[in-house]
């Protein structure tokens, strides 16, 4: 019997985390998402929910005690001698292809294993070499790592290689907390009925992700957006150029999530904190306080919803899982 999982569309709050995960699912080449924060924040529920929005729906958890061979797979040398070819036994990376690889407490993994995971997540290919034999296979997945900083930090070199970072802090407001508990109790009491109740919203979310993935590759990485991002990265004092590239791709994914055909200033602004949270060296000066506005003389008007609240603010386009197409070149200025 297939396990029933809490539908992502029914998750209350966690809007920042949802957004970052949507962007990573739209463009798996972003390099994954690092989630920093305490337990009990629905991190695994959200990660599993993102997997269900991907074409293959695969969700693989990496055990903390996993060996390198278990992660990358093994080559059977005896079979190679007897049959004249290497026999490959797939590991965790092969099983995660096309889905989500979830690493809880990634900061407790040995550094060389974290480095290995990030290498494969960036390249989309896993290469195994042993005694002159080699085997390679596609390994394109959304890497989601979680960590509690109180239990140890990642080295800065590894931290920088995660594409996006989200820091969870604070507590939900009382009304939100109560709604979270109500939905959890309803799901536990009758999972099938709860999933059926949220099926329309879940299908709409899945379709939005599919549309975004189709749109993504048609959105140019233009010079105007690049110049603005480069200026801000310089002002933030980030080392290297990884932040520039990740930020640009995340802005493109955000534009696709909105359903737009090109990157706009709102896309650059929306993903800035994801790209710079773990790379910024300089703290930007606080914005000047705005002078108080005089109240209108007439009756107050209800302002339309800008659509920028919750996770519905972003439209992202995802690179189809398994695609190996390179990023388009930036168009030259006339």
Catalytic residue annotation: 242
What torsion do the CA atoms of 179, 100, 217, 165 make, to the nearest 10 degrees? 70
The partner residues of 35 in beta bridges, in order of sequence, read 146, 166
Instruction: Please classify residue 98 by burial: count the beta carbons closer than 10 Å to its beta carbon, then call 0-12 exposed, 13-18 middle and 19+ buried.
Output: buried
Q: Would you call 43 helix, strand, or coil by DSSP?
A: helix
Q: Dump the DSSP string for 205-269.
A: HHHHHHHHHHHHTTS---HHHHHHHHHHHHHHT-SSSHHHHHHHHHHHHHHHHHT-SS--HHHHH
Half-sphere exposure of 316 (CA within 13 A, CB side): 32
Give the H or E element holding residue 103: strand 100-103
Looking up tokens 């989309």 gives 124
Q: Would you call 295 helix, strand, or coil by DSSP?
A: coil
List phi, psi (to 5°) of 126.
-110, 125
């Amino acid at each position: 019997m297939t396990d029933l999982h809490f539908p992502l569309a029914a998750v209350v709050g966690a809007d920042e985390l949802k957004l970052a995960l949507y962007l990573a699912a739209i463009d798996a080449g972003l390099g994954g998402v690092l989630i920093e924060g305490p337990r009990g924040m629905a991190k695994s529920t959200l990660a599993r929910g993102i997997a269900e929005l991907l074409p293959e729906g695969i969700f693989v958890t990496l055990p903390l005690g996993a060996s390198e061979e278990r992660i990358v797979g093994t080559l059977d040398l005896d079979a190679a001698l007897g049959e004249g070819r290497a026999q490959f036994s797939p590991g965790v990376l092969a099983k995660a292809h096309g889905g989500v690889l979830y690493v809880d407490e990634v900061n407790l993994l040995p550094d060389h294993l974290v480095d290995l995971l990030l290498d494969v997540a960036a390249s989309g290919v896993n290469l195994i070499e042993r005694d002159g034999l080699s085997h390679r296979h596609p390994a394109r997945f959304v890497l989601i790592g979680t960590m509690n900083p109180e239990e140890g930090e990642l080295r800065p070199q590894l931290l920088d290689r995660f594409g996006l970072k989200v820091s969870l802090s604070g507590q939900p407001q009382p009304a939100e907390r109560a709604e979270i508990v109500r939905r959890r109790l309803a799901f536990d009491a009758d999972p099938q009925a709860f999933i059926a109740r949220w099926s329309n919203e879940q299908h709409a979310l899945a379709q939005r992700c599919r549309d975004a993935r189709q749109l993504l590759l048609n959105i140019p990485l233009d010079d105007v957006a690049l110049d603005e991002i480069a200026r801000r990265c310089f002002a933030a004092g980030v080392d290297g150029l990884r932040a520039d590239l990740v930020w640009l791709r995340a802005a493109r994914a955000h534009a696709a999530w909105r359903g737009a055909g090109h990157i706009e200033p709102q896309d650059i602004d929306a993903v800035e904190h994801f790209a710079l949270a773990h790379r910024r060296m300089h703290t930007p000066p606080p914005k000047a306080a705005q002078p108080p506005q005089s109240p209108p003389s007439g009756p107050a008007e209800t302002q339309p919803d800008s659509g920028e609240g919750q996770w519905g603010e972003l439209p992202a386009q995802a690179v189809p899982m398994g695609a190996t197409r390179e990023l388009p070149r930036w168009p030259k200025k006339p």
